[in-house]
Amino acid sequence: MLRVTRSVGAYWTSERIPRHSMIPITAPVTYAELKRRVQETLLIGERRIEEAKVLTYWTTGRLIHEHVLRHKEKTYYGKEVVVRLPEDLEISQAVLYKRAWFGALYPIVSARTKLT
């Protein structure tokens, strides 16, 4: 296992990455092989980033949506949350609204489904 420490916002986190998930690092012999392997590595990284973004958007949206549903008896509670939460988190109201909409639109996320 390899331990990776990275900054997440104002916090530092440490996570373990299994060695079998890492790409073996052996020096490419030709330039064409180097180019191919760098492209593959960049593509893998981009896919992982996009998967993490989608899961983050979905989770954020579900949290907001479920919270508002829990308090649905309060007439304007949802509107208050959409105004107050962005101020407290110092994030755009439009971004949070889109994430809440995304979480409400797709209520179940499947671990087996891969987005391409």
pLDDT tens-place string over residues 2-25: 444 444 444 444 556 555 555 567
pTM of the model: 0.62
Q: What are the structure tokens assigned to 90, written together?
A: 């110092």
Mean pLDDT of 29-58: 94
Question: Structurally, how many domains does the chain consist of?
Answer: 1
- 23 within some domain: no
- 13 within some domain: no
Mapping DSSP onto H, E and C, the string for 30-95 reads CHHHHHHHHHHHHHHHHHHHHHHHHHHHHHHHHHHHHHHHHCCCCCCHHHHHHHHHHHHHCCCHHH
Mean pLDDT of 33-39: 94
**Domain enclosing residue 73, as ranges:** 30-105
Phi, psi of 42 (to 5 degrees): -65, -40
- 58 within some domain: yes
- 93 within some domain: yes
- 75 within some domain: yes
pLDDT tens string 56-112:
999 999 999 899 889 988 878 888 888 899 999 999 999 888 888 888 888 775 655
- 99 within some domain: yes
pLDDT value at residue 52: 94
